[in-house]
């Protein structure tokens, strides 16, 4: 039974669209996403550099920056299935379908594909889902779960990942009740 919970917040700016949405969310638009990782621990470290911590906030920040900020901040988060949008960014010297096929291979292998080799040299983060707040919460949870375990030396586990698209709209992914 976890007795300690720690939370770390990160904010990034990114663009997206929900191509399947019937209304305004199908327009290309941006958010200042706020992302919160919630970790639980049954006990604190008894010794070492994390003495009396569940997980050093600084370690958690490093992992969130590497996995969320670096690939997504000031980028455009695009669904692999959104071919019409991706094709706008295909390099001028590439066949768009072949370029998308290359991205699809990377997404299948790695779970997402980051590239700036695009027509405008702009940063794309291509994902195998529509980039709703819910699906991003699940994606970022899956990227962070193992690093939280490792950086805490097994003391802490990630229990929830929250994504605010606006100050009023938040989605949470938590495989078990928090
Ligand atoms: N369950 C979800 N619903 C919606 C999502 C989502 O990811 N999950 N996303 C959107 C849009 O992308 C949009 O960013 C948010 O829409 P909306 O709440 O209508 O935006 P507002 O500008 O009105 O938000 P305020 O907080 O009132 O400024 C839509 N739905």
Please state the ipTM of this predicted complex: 0.91
The answer to whether the CB of 25 is under 6 A from ligand 1 is: yes
The answer to whether the CB of 132 is under 6 A from ligand 1 is: yes
Closest CA to 149 of 158, 141, 140: 158
Three state DSSP letters for the chain: CCCEEEEEEEEEEEEECCCCCCCHHHCCEEEEEEEEEEEEECCCECCCCCECCCCCHHHHHHHHHHHHHHHHCCEEEEECCCHHHHHHCCCCCCCHHHHHHHHHHHHHHHCCEEECCCCCCCCEEEECCCCCHHHHHHHHHHHHHHHHHHHCCCCEEEEEEEEEEECCEEEEECCCCC
Give residue 26's pLDDT.
Answer: 94
Give residue 177's pLDDT.
Answer: 76
In the reported structure, the alpha carbon of residue 22 is separated from the centroid of ligand 1 by a whole-number distance in angstroms of 12
The answer to whether the CB of 63 is under 6 A from ligand 1 is: no
Nearest CA to ligand 1 atom 16: 25
Measured CA to CA, the distance from residue 169 to residue 171 in angstroms comes to: 7
The domain ranges of the chain are 4-173
Give residue 100's pLDDT.
Answer: 98
Closest CA to 163 of 6, 27, 9, 54: 9
**Which atom of ligand 1 is closest in space to residue 165's alpha carbon?**
14
Give residue 89's pLDDT.
Answer: 97
3-state helix, strand, coil in the chain (%, to 5): 35, 30, 35
φ, ψ for residue 85, nearest 5 deg? -75, -45
Superfamily of domain 4-173: 6-pyruvoyl tetrahydropterin synthase/QueD (3.30.479.10)
Give residue 137's pLDDT.
Answer: 98
**Considering the entire predicted model, what is its pTM?**
0.95
φ, ψ for residue 59, nearest 5 deg? -65, -40
Measured CA to CA, the distance from residue 69 to residue 76 in angstroms comes to: 12
Give residue 22's pLDDT.
Answer: 86
Q: Is 113 helix (H, G, I), strand (E, B) or coil?
A: strand
Q: Which residues of the chain have pLDDT under 50?
A: none
């Amino acid at each position: 039974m976890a007795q300690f919970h720690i939370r770390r917040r990160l904010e990034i700016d990114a663009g997206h669209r929900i191509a399947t949405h019937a209304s305004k969310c199908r327009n290309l638009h941006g958010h200042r996403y706020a992302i919160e990782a919630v970790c639980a621990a049954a006990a604190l470290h008894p010794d070492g550099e994390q003495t009396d911590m569940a997980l050093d906030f600084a370690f958690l920040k490093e992992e969130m920056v590497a996995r969320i900020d670096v690939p997504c901040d000031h980028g455009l988060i695009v669904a692999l299935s959104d071919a019409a949008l991706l094709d706008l960014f295909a390099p001028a010297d590439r066949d768009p379908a072949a370029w998308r096929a290359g991205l699809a291979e990377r997404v299948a292998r790695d779970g997402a594909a980051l590239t700036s080799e695009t027509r405008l040299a702009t940063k794309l983060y291509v994902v195998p889902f529509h980039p709703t707040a819910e699906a991003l919460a699940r994606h970022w949870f899956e990227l962070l779960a193992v690093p939280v375990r490792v950086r805490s030396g097994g003391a802490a586990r990630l229990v929830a990942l929250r994504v605010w698209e606006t100050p009023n709209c938040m989605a949470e992914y938590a495989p078990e009740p928090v």
